[in-house]
Amino acid sequence: AVPMILATTLFIALMTDQTINRITLFAFLLSLGLIVDDAIIVIENIHRRLHLKESEELEFDEIIIQATDEIGPSTNIATIAIMLTMIPMGFVGGMMGQFMKPIPLNVPVALGISLFVAYVFAPYFARKFIKFESKSKPVKDEN
Euclidean distance between CA atoms 68 and 103, whole angstroms:
29
Quick one: CA dihedral 6, 67, 51, 132, positive or negative? negative
Q: What is the pLDDT of residues 13-25, one digit of tens each?
A: 999 988 888 888 8
Q: What is the pLDDT of residues 98-119, one digit of tens each?
A: 888 888 989 999 999 999 999 9
Q: What is the pLDDT of residues 65-101, one digit of tens each?
A: 999 999 999 999 999 999 999 989 989 999 988 888 8
Domains observed in the chain: 2-129 (1.20.1640.10)
Whether the pTM exceeds 0.85: the reply is no
